[in-house]
Each structure stands twice: as structure tokens, then as C-alpha cells.
Chains A and B, each alone.
Chain A
């Protein structure tokens, strides 16, 4: 397997960069969208809530693989032709945003009601209460689920391979097709994904330990 690894190394290195880029960019974008969706859901304003519910229903209710295919191969029929990497980032961000919105929502709802009332009683506006009192606590509550989603997304980036993005999984298939040593290539990339996930888990644990400290 070592000879295959050495042969594959230049392409694998590119694949790792693309995989990490897809994962982090989509996570950042998806979290921002997810936060907005969560706030819309909790806003108490009927059209915003309806939008948030519909968003969640569509993007959590359909497979990410299908979303990626529709964005890359479907949108050109409506006159919108996107390159592979932007297509993948959009699809992954929209998909992960649906989960993130629920993570944020549960975090916000997990903050004791009295905290909000106390903030109001000392004269904070609702934005101030959200930003200074509710949100810091909500983030602590939601950290484990947010971390899980990041790790899950890092592996979901493999779906981008179907729209010609040369990330880790596609690298494995490409070298597999030339050599017919598919199994070994899959073992190699499994190890790499595992390595990336392990680094992320360690990061998550460190973050959780920090978050567990008193304010």
C-alpha cells in the first residue's frame, strides 16, 4: 500500500486541501445562515417563522447528495450555471444550516427563562439581552452538537465528488480507476478522514472544557 500512497501523495495533498476548504467554508457560511434561520424561527413574527419552518423542512428533509446534484446540474436549466466548488459550497452550506439552526434554537431555548427576564428588568433591550445574556449561554449549551455537526460536515464534503470537485474521495476513485486498487485507496482516504475528524474532536473537547468553566 505504501507504493500506492507515495504515488497518490501529490493528488491526495490537493484533495486534503480541497476537503478542508469545503468543510470549513461551508461550516462558517452554514452556521451564519443557521443562526439567522433560528432567530427567524424564534422571532414570533409569523412570516419569518413560516420561512424558517419551510427552510428546515426542505433542507433537512432532502439528501445533501440530491441538493448538490440539483444545484450543479439542475440550475443551468434555469440559466444559472455555477462552477463545481461554488455549487458544492452552496449546497453544503444550505444543508448544514438547517441542522445548525436547530442546534442554535435548542441552545437558545435551553437558557433559563429567568435570565431573559432579569436582563429586561435591568433595562436591556431585547437585542442587548440576546447578545450579552442569552447568546453566550446558548453557545455553551449548543457546543457539543455544533461540534458534532462540524465533524459530520467534514465527511459530507465527499458528496462534492459527484459534481467534479477533486476532493479526497474523488482522488481515491481517480487513482483507483487507473490502478484498479480501489480498496487500498479507500483505506488510505478513510485514514485521512479519520485523522481530520480526530483533530476536530480534540478541538471540540478542548472547547467544551473551556466552556465548562464558570464565567
Chain B
């Protein structure tokens, strides 16, 4: 199956090319060494927020350094991506900017990473935190610590437009399932009997392949899928029923209790004072309120 319909196919060609180009960028700029893609922002008024408690460990280091080093993919709209002016923007970026104010850290440095480099980078001190919507799982908790979830995403199956035969995970038996590499959905897909799991560098490429018919279904966040499909003219649609809920959090090195306490406190405050609501409306649309979504989670009680 090929793309037909000129405007859409032109757009999807461009978007596929762009998505592919970012792989090259990510592959070349994955580390924090020279040549790594680094963007620094210093929000106004950051210095006015004074630290409130004595920090130890990594938090103390970050404070004395004056910079929080944040790894994110920068290829994952609307969470973190580069806009027309090549600035790193998105939901996760706004959250990071707000977070440093609350932690009393003057500056922020974004380092582009991939899901394959995020964890090794934390463990080898290339960056301090990963703000990339990583899903919390028990197995992952053995390697890193997670903050309180700052967003939740509904996992949904996306199928080529017009397909009505795939409605649930059961219908994916023996099918080709597309998932972004590093996503926790890979595990869900692998659990489907006889399914062929295909992993991609990012969600755009995975969805594009479903649109092209080289994969039968995409598994991932409903929100991201809808956003990317609409933005890039990819001919896919969500299956009617959601298959699960994913809790996304900030990750950092194990055992950094003062950092963890400070970040959790900041996230609670963002939910309480409406910041989380404001940024979710900005990036996800007027009907979306992440604050009320996360508050429903058990860990938030």
C-alpha cells in the first residue's frame, strides 16, 4: 500500500524524511561530549526562587553547579521537539523549566539522547535527570529511581485507516506490531502470541510504516498517535478501545533521596497550583487536564 492523495503524501514524505533525519542527529549527538546537541535556557526570575532546604548528594551538586542537565529525545512532539526556530519546546520542556524554578536552580541544559542512551547516561553522570515520559515499571525500578508520575498516557492500538478488524490485543495475534524502540509498549507487544514486533527510532516512523502497510498496527500513547497522524497526514486511526494506562515519570540515579524528595514536592506543587493544568492545555488541547489525571493515580494519594 502506498500513499495516495497528494497533499497528505507530500507531507508524510517530508515528515518521514524529517523523522529519519533526527535519527542521524540523535545517533551523532547522543552523548554529552563535544558536538552533542545542547540547548541552554535561563528562564527569567529563576534566581528569585531561593532553595528552601539543605540539599545533599546529587541535588547539592546540581545546585552548586547552577545547572540541571536534562536528557530528552527532542524528536517526540508534543513532549520535546525542536520548533521552527530550532528551540527545544514541548510539554516536558515546560515542565523542566518550571521544575528548576521550584528547585532553586538557575539554569537548565537540554541534552539530546535516545531511549537507548538515557539510562547509561544517568549511570555515568552525563546528565542529572531524564524527562522523557519514561513509563514506570517494576523491572526498570531496579535500575533507576522514578519521581511521582507527572503525566499519564492511555495506550491505544492504531490501525491503517478503514481497518475495522483489529479492536483489541487479541486481534493482533500473528500480526506485525510497530512500536518505538525503548517504549514500554514493546513488552506489551512481545506478549502477543506469534506477533512480529517491529521497533522504530521514533513514533513518527512507526506510525508511517503502519500507514504504508509494512506493519499492521501501532501500539502507543493515544494522544501521541493522534497528534502525529494529524500533523503528518499519516493514514491511521485509533482502535475503539484503550488497552492500558501508562504512568510517566522523571528518572534519575538510584539512591538520590534529597533529589527525589525535592522533585516530588515540585510536581505536587505544579499539580496543586494549576501549572500542570496550564501546560497540558497548552500542548494537549483545552480539554486536557493532566493535574486531574495524575491525581487519580494510587501513588498520588
Q: Are B23 and A186 in contact (CB under 8 A)?
A: no
Interface string of B235-255 (1 = CB under 8 A from A): 000000000000000000000
Contact of A164 among B2, B23, B123, B198 (CB under 8 A): B198
Q: Are A177 and B181 in contact (CB under 8 A)?
A: yes
Q: Are B9 and A66 in contact (CB under 8 A)?
A: no
Interface size class of B (residues with CB under 8 A): 35 or more
Kindly state whether residue A182 has any CB partner on chain B within 8 Å: yes
Contact of A77 among B16, B198, B209 (CB under 8 A): B16
Q: Are B140 and A76 in contact (CB under 8 A)?
A: no
Contact of A76 among B3, B24, B120, B144 (CB under 8 A): B3
The stretch of B31-39, B102-110, B182-190, B223-231 that contacts the partner chain: B182-190
Interface size class of A (residues with CB under 8 A): 20 to 34
Q: Are A174 and B186 in contact (CB under 8 A)?
A: yes
Contact of B186 among A70, A84, A177, A182 (CB under 8 A): A177
CB of B264 to closest CB in A, whole Å = 20
Interface string of A67-99 (1 = CB under 8 A from B): 001100110110101011000000000000000
Kindly state whether residue B259 has any CB partner on chain A within 8 Å: no
Inter-chain CA distance A74–B182, complex, in Å, is: 23
Kindly state whether residue B284 has any CB partner on chain A within 8 Å: no
User: Which residues of B are found within 8 Å of A81, using beta-carbon distances?
Assistant: 1-2, 212-214
User: Which residues of A are found within 8 Å of B120, using beta-carbon distances?
Assistant: 182-183, 186
Kindly state whether residue A180 has any CB partner on chain B within 8 Å: yes
Q: Are B186 and A73 in contact (CB under 8 A)?
A: no
Kindly state whether residue A181 has any CB partner on chain B within 8 Å: yes
Inter-chain CA distance A170–B116, complex, in Å, is: 10
CB of A177 to closest CB in B, whole Å = 4
Kindly state whether residue A65 has any CB partner on chain B within 8 Å: yes
Q: Are B116 and A77 in contact (CB under 8 A)?
A: no
CB of B57 to closest CB in A, whole Å = 20
Interface string of B38-71 (1 = CB under 8 A from A): 0000000000000000000000000000000000
Q: Are A178 and B214 in contact (CB under 8 A)?
A: no
Kindly state whether residue A208 has any CB partner on chain B within 8 Å: no
CB of A110 to closest CB in B, whole Å = 36
A77 in contact with B13 given A162-B201, A173-B199, A180-B144 (CB within 8 Å): yes
Inter-chain CA distance A162–B182, complex, in Å, is: 12
Kindly state whether residue A121 has any CB partner on chain B within 8 Å: no
Q: Are B182 and A69 in contact (CB under 8 A)?
A: no
- Residues A168-215 near B (CB distance < 8 A): 170, 173-174, 176-183, 186
CB of B284 to closest CB in A, whole Å = 25
Smallest Cβ-Cβ distance to B185: which chain A residue: A177
Inter-chain CA distance A69–B205, complex, in Å, is: 11
User: Which residues of B are found within 8 Å of A181, using beta-carbon distances?
Assistant: 119, 143
Q: Are B198 and A179 in contact (CB under 8 A)?
A: no
User: Which residues of B are found within 8 Å of A63, using beta-carbon distances?
Assistant: 24
User: Which residues of B are found within 8 Å of A65, using beta-carbon distances?
Assistant: 23-24, 27
Inter-chain CA distance A170–B182, complex, in Å, is: 10
Contact of A173 among B144, B181, B212 (CB under 8 A): B181
Q: Are A69 and B184 in contact (CB under 8 A)?
A: no
- Residues A43-82 near B (CB distance < 8 A): 63, 65-66, 69-70, 73-74, 76-77, 79, 81
A176 in contact with B119 given A73-B205, A81-B212 (CB within 8 Å): yes
Kindly state whether residue B139 has any CB partner on chain A within 8 Å: yes
Smallest Cβ-Cβ distance to A79: which chain B residue: B2
Kindly state whether residue B142 has any CB partner on chain A within 8 Å: yes
User: Which residues of A are found within 8 Å of B283, using beta-carbon distances?
Assistant: none
User: Which residues of A are found within 8 Å of B183, using beta-carbon distances?
Assistant: 177
CB of A183 to closest CB in B, whole Å = 5
CB of A176 to closest CB in B, whole Å = 6
Inter-chain CA distance A63–B213, complex, in Å, is: 27
Inter-chain CA distance A121–B140, complex, in Å, is: 74
User: Which residues of A are found within 8 Å of B186, using beta-carbon distances?
Assistant: 174, 177-178
Kindly state whether residue B112 has any CB partner on chain A within 8 Å: no
**What are 21 inter-chain pairs, A to B, with CB distance below 8 A?**
A66-B24, A69-B24, A73-B208, A74-B16, A77-B16, A81-B212, A81-B214, A162-B23, A166-B199, A170-B181, A170-B199, A174-B181, A176-B119, A176-B182, A177-B115, A178-B184, A179-B140, A180-B139, A180-B144, A183-B120, A186-B120
Which residues of B line the A interface, CB within 8 A? Answer: 1-3, 9, 13, 16-17, 19-20, 23-24, 27, 115-117, 119-120, 123, 137, 139-140, 142-144, 178, 181-184, 186-187, 197-201, 205, 208-209, 212-214
Closest 6 CB pairs of A and B: A180-B143, A164-B198, A177-B182, A77-B13, A69-B20, A180-B140
